[in-house]
Structure 1
Amino acid sequence: MNETKSNEWNAGHYDQKIGYVSRLGQSLIGLLQPAEGERILDIGCGTGDLAWEIARSGAHVTGIDSSEAMVAQAAAKYPSLSFRVDDAQTFRLQPEEAPYDAIFSNAALHWIRRPADAARSMALALRSGGRLVAEFGGQDNIAEIYQGIRSALESAGIDADERNPWYFPGIGEYASVLEAEGFHVRTAELYERPTPLGDGAQGLRNWLDAFAGKFFAGMTEPEKEEAYVRCEAAVRGKLLRGGEYIADYRRLRITAIRL
């Protein structure tokens, strides 16, 4: 979900341990207001749960994700829907495809390190008057977790900034990206969303396994274990509450119309 090429995705782990991503994206479907017969593109569809919820409206949904593992899992779970492996930065309509009525994206666009290319892809995929509804990590998202990762890797002689796969823009920055590609931004909100990671004290490790693999690439298992321990120690005081880690999420929620 995702410029997922920057992270190795384990679809089974995602469904079993990171289910809150789709659950918390449910409210975004209310903003989308999908209608029967509409053609809707889900960018960064992951394992397909939200695409399925959108399709229950009677809309025709296509999900794309750059992770083969995620798309395979989505197709196995929801065989009546259309999923394919594709990159949001280079996605283009097939010659036989009509433009979409709407684009939906949850927890994906912060994996896109070339946001202008993704905005161009979205504009080209939408009909005039088509709508974009998206939510993803915004400015200062997971600031405490990231500092924990930086601290852990610094002890191992690794510069976390050089491995950072994420893009967390502010409202003005991302609105400008969309407007440059022919969108009219209707609403934009950057808000705090503290997110329980579940699974007790194991929750942070589940999160690191799912989303932070690039930072720990090349480490032996003992080196990775030491880095995880250091990261937990760095964030425990601020993020561990009642035996559970609460991630310091800040989300950017955008609705826009293609002119």
Structure 2
Amino acid sequence: MTEPSPSVPSTSVAAAAGTETKDSWSSQKYAKNASFVPVLGAPVLKLLDPQPNEHILDLGAGDGVLTIDLEKRCKSVVAIDSSAEMIAAATKIGCKDAQVVDGHDLIEHPLANGQFDAVFSNAALHWMKKDPVRVIQGVNKCLKPQGRFVAEMGGHMNVAEVRSQLHAALRKRGVDPEPYDPWFFPGAKTYARMLEENGFKVDSIELIPRYTALSTDVAGWCDTFGFMFFKPFEGDEKQRQEILEEVQSNLRFSQDEGVWYIMYVRLRFKATKIN
């Protein structure tokens, strides 16, 4: 089967989503509704295979749970995330070096000086929709020659059922959902091409469907991860709650024995800097 190849989103389309996520994250909601995210990061950590003498950059570290694990396995880790609240949470649990840095700005940051043996990222790159190519270029500048870029992100058709319902809910209320959709979910061919065009050799890349049990329910998931879709209704808590209840009701068949599920599709890859 031929895999669809979505185009890279333009800055104008992504602007509403890409510039506001910094102040919208809640570490408390993340801990409550998304505890499964770092737990499911084990396979990509295994692919990274961190070594005791290595310096690693954790791109989009979130609340630092996986960063702490990385720190036990290698010489040093720098954790970065665009959210000040998430970085504060990472620091609170003991991350040694956690900094507020947007992945889009990495290419011009002092960290981008070829000092890292590897750049690691779990469940973060799909949030960097404004300019995914610029993110890859920034990663390349951070790495030593032959350094590794190992990551897992949302891939083509990720959370399609929830995403479709959120789009439908906004259209029903006369709002175009596209400017508020914060996610970039590429196919394997698309992202491999982006890596190869920006200084990497792709060692492995694959889409991995993963039927995922949620920590709470669909409404909790949307409240934690779908916050950008509620931007048109800021200050209208009634409307927000109506949308959450509507989306969850329409996805009621995603529940089994009291547990809610979403079909995740992860894009997992390992790439090596060419020079």
Residues in 1 aligned to 2:102 and 2:85: alpha-carbon distance in whole angstroms: 14
Cα gap change, 1:159 to 1:102, in 2 (>3 Å): same
Which residue is equivalent to 1:189? Answer: 206
> Percent identity, aligned pairs only?
33
Deviation string for 1:59-79 (max 9, x for gaps)?
Answer: 300000000000011011115
Corresponding residue for 2:46?
30
Structure 2 CA distance, aligned partners of 1:233 and 1:249? 19
TM-score scaled to structure 2, two decimals? 0.87
Partner of 1:198: 215
Distance in 1 between residues matched to 2:119 and 2:162, nearest whole Å: 30
Task: State the AA in 1 paired with 2:180.
Answer: R
**For the residues of structure 2 that align with 1:258 and 1:95, how far apart are their CA atoms?**
16
Mapped pair 1:227 → 2:223: no
CA distance in 2, matches of 1:66, 1:51: 15
Which residue is equivalent to 1:180? 197
Q: Which amino acid aligns with 1:208?
A: C
- Identify the range of structure 1 (164-173 vs 221-230) with the bigger mean alpha-carbon deviation: 221-230
Which residue number corresponds to residue 215 of structure 1? 229
Measure, in 1, the Cα distance between the counterparts of 2:63 and 2:127.
Answer: 16
* Structure-2 separation of matches of 1:46 and 1:3: 16
> Given the alignment, which residue of 245, 252, 255 partners 2:260?
245
Aligned residues: 253
Check if 1:82 corresponds to 2:107: no
CA contact (8 A) 2:58 2:119 kept: yes
Pair 1:122 & 2:125 matched: no
Instruction: Provide the secondary structure at the position in 1 that maps to 2:205.
Output: strand
Q: Which amino acid aligns with 1:174?
A: Y
Question: Is the 8 Å Cα contact of residues 93 and 99 (structure 1) preserved in structure 2?
Answer: no
Is the contact between residue 113 and residue 141 of structure 2 (CA under 8 Å) also seen in structure 1? no
3-state secondary structure, aligned to 1:136: strand
SS of 1:9 mapped into structure 2? coil
CA distance in 2, matches of 1:197, 1:86: 28
The Cα shift of 1:18 comes to: 1.1
Partner Cα separation in structure 1 for residue 192 and residue 266 of structure 2: 14
Q: Against the structure 1 CA distance between its residues 134 and 180, is the aligned structure 2 distance closer, same or farther, given a 3 Å change threshold?
A: same
Q: Secondary structure at the match of 1:198?
A: coil
Q: Which residue of 1 aligns with 2:87?
A: 71
Structure 2 runs not aligned, ≥5 long = 1-16
Distance across 2 between alignment mates of 1:10 and 1:96: 28
Q: Tell me the distance in 2 between the aligned counterparts of 1:87 and 1:60.
A: 20
Q: How does 1:29-108 map to 2 (within 5 A)?
A: 29-79=45-95, 81-91=96-106, 92-94=108-110, 99-108=115-124
Alpha-carbon distance, 1:98 to partner: 5.2
Q: Is the 8 A contact 1:3 1:87 kept in 2?
A: no
For the residue of structure 1 that corresponds to 2:103, the secondary structure is: coil
